Amino acid sequence: MVMNVEKHKSILAIVSDIFFSVQVDETAKRLGYRVDYAKSEQEVSEKLALHPDLIILDLADEGVQWDNMIQDAKTRGNPAPVLAFGHHMDLEVRDRALKAGADAVVSNAVFSKDLQRLVEKYVKK
């Protein structure tokens, strides 16, 4: 007997700021995604093995070495898109994230205003 096992749509979020976490949760729920949060590099590595459909990364989160995390996410089989966000004036951090392999880096304001559109645009189909 063959069972039809449907993969749950999921987002891996490396976001410790409660304001942004609430936005991620509400948007994910509205779009039918489960959100898994990671607070350390070890947790990120473990949750990448679950093949999320999207990775959301707060560049201000000091809990992970996000350069390494992005590179790790992009070198695994079936890599997920990485949507990063941070302070709009920190162009050095933006450039580092893009160089590490982030698919998009947006300002905190754009992230807050357009999160649903961004998730729909960058989620792995």
**Domain limits for position 61:** 10-122
Instruction: Decide which of 89 and 122 is more confident.
Output: 122
4 lies in a domain?
no
Domain annotation covers residue 55? yes
Convert the pLDDT of each residue in 62-98 to its tens digit.
777 888 889 888 887 778 999 999 988 888 999 999 9
pTM of the model: 0.89
User: Each residue of 38-58: pLDDT tens digit?
Assistant: 988 889 889 998 899 999 999
- The Cα–Cα gap between 19 and 105 comes to 18
The domain that contains 80 carries what CATH number?
A: 3.40.50.2300
Q: Is 2 among the domain residues?
A: no
Measured distance CA(113)–CA(117) in Å, rounded: 9
